[in-house]
Amino acid sequence: MKRLLTGAIVTVVFATTASAVMASEAAVTAISSETQEIKPFNLVHRAYSGHFSDQGIPGFHGLTMAYRSGQLNAEDLIETAINQGRLSPETLDDTGYVNAVRSQLRKLERSNHDGSIRQ
C-alpha cells in the first residue's frame, strides 16, 4: 500500500511539473507571437498601402513624396512598427534591417507610377 501511495504521489508531482513547463512554453510562444517581426519589404508595402496613416505616415504617393523630400526616413517607419508591436525596439539598432528598409524605400521611389512596389 505504501508503494502504491508513493507511486501516486510521484505521478501527481510529475503531472503537475509537466503542466507547468507546458504552460511556461505556451507563455513564451504567446509573447513572441505578439511581436511578429515584419520583413522590410512588407513594412514599406504596408506604409505605402496606408496602414500607418493613423500614426502620421502618409500612404501611396504621399509616402514617396515624404521620403523624397526628407520628411520621412527608414527609422520613422521602423519606429511606427515598434509602436504597433510589430517589431522589437532593438530593430532600430539592426543596421541590416534599417538598410533593407532604406533600400525598399529607394526602390519605391524609383518604381513606376503604376502603384506597384517591386521586391
Using a pLDDT cut of 70, give the percent of the chain over it.
Answer: 63
Q: Does the model's pTM come out above 0.75?
A: no
pLDDT of residue 111: 85
Q: Is the pLDDT of residue 85 over 70?
A: yes
Q: Is the pLDDT of residue 14 over 80?
A: no
Could you tell me if 35 and 28 are in contact, meaning their C-beta atoms sit under 8 angstroms apart?
no
Please write the tens of the pLDDT for every residue from 88-101. Answer: 999 999 999 999 99
Average pLDDT score over the chain: 80
Q: Give the CA distances from residue 2 to residues 5, 6, 7, 74, 81, in Å, rounded to whole numbers and listed in that order.
A: 5, 6, 9, 69, 60
pLDDT of residue 83: 95
Please write the tens of the pLDDT for every residue from 30-40. Answer: 444 455 689 99
Which amino acid belongs to residue 104?
Answer: Q
Spacing of C-alpha 90 from chain mean position: 11
